[in-house]
Structure formats: C-alpha cells, structure tokens
Amino acid sequence: MAVNHIEQMIEDPQGQAQRVMVHIGESPLAWLHARGHLPERLYVAGDRLRADWEKAGLGVQVTMRWDGAPRQPGRGGRAPDPTMVQMSARERFDGAIRAAGPGLSDILWRVVCAGEGLVAAERALGWPSRAGKLVLTLALDRVANWYRVR
C-alpha cells in the first residue's frame, strides 16, 4: 500500500507551529477546492493553466527525454505534431498570465504551477497573512474569463 500522507510542521498565519497531515498527491489548488475555499469555476481555470504550463514544457526538465520513440498515427489521421502542441500550450499559458495581469500573476504562478502553498507564497512575496487567497481568487477569476470557463 502506498503512503499518501506525511506529517509536516507548518507555521499558521499567527506564527504558531502546527503539526499537520499532508496528502502528498494533492496540489494547493486542489486542497483549496476540496475544502470549499475555491469555487469549481476557478478550480477548473487553474487546472487548465497548470495543464498548459506542463504541456508547454515550462517546468523543470531533465537533460534527456525519456519518452519513447515517436508514435505512429492511428487510423484515419496523423498524430499531432508535439512541437505545435507545445507552442499552442505556451500561447494559451502566456495569454492567461497576461489576462491575470501584473501583481496577480505572481501568486497565480507560484500556487497553481509551482505548487507552493499559500503561506509560503505570501511569505516569498512579502505579503501579509491571508492576502494570498484573495489575490489568488482575483487572478483565477480573470484566468477563468480568459479560458471562457463558465
């Protein structure tokens, strides 16, 4: 049986250390959504942004590609060109980040793409406690509009 949770010490917004159980397969965005802090529309928009970030290959990469040989096209059509898929994803990602705007895109990238928790992102940006959730919500609302998520 795989281990899904780890015990971790975190600092709450008041500066008090707390022992919590962390689900290691859950992103900060999924955590917020699962606990009712983020509506479905904003969660879907954030998930699309993260998917485009990954498809565009903007994350950390190893020096060698480990995916297998190119796939043969299936019946009735050609396989999509990986370069075009990556470029399209990059254009969507850049458009969504521009839609979020300066000042909002920082927390958006940190939480949605880099997987930083809100407290860590607030601290890294020098923001007061609990400001991150509000700013993230505003950024995700703009991204949802850009992706046309209803």
Give domain status of residue 39, yes or no. Answer: yes
Q: Which pLDDT belongs to residue 24? A: 57
Give domain status of residue 133, yes or no. Answer: yes
Which of 20-34, 66-80, 100-114 is predicted with the least confidence, judged by mean pLDDT?
Answer: 66-80
Give domain status of residue 6, yes or no. Answer: no
Torsion, Cα of 112, 116, 119, 121 (10° steps): -80
Q: Per-residue pLDDT for 4 more than 60?
A: yes
Q: Per-residue pLDDT for 40 more than 70?
A: yes
Give domain status of residue 76, yes or no. Answer: no
What's the mean pLDDT in 106-113? Answer: 94
Give domain status of residue 140, yes or no. Answer: yes
Print the domain residue range for 143: 27-59+82-147
**pTM score of the predicted model:** 0.74
Give domain status of residue 12, yes or no. Answer: no
Residues 31, 50: Cα–Cα separation, whole Å? 15
Q: How many domains is the chain partitioned into structurally?
A: 1
Residues 111, 72: Cα–Cα separation, whole Å? 37
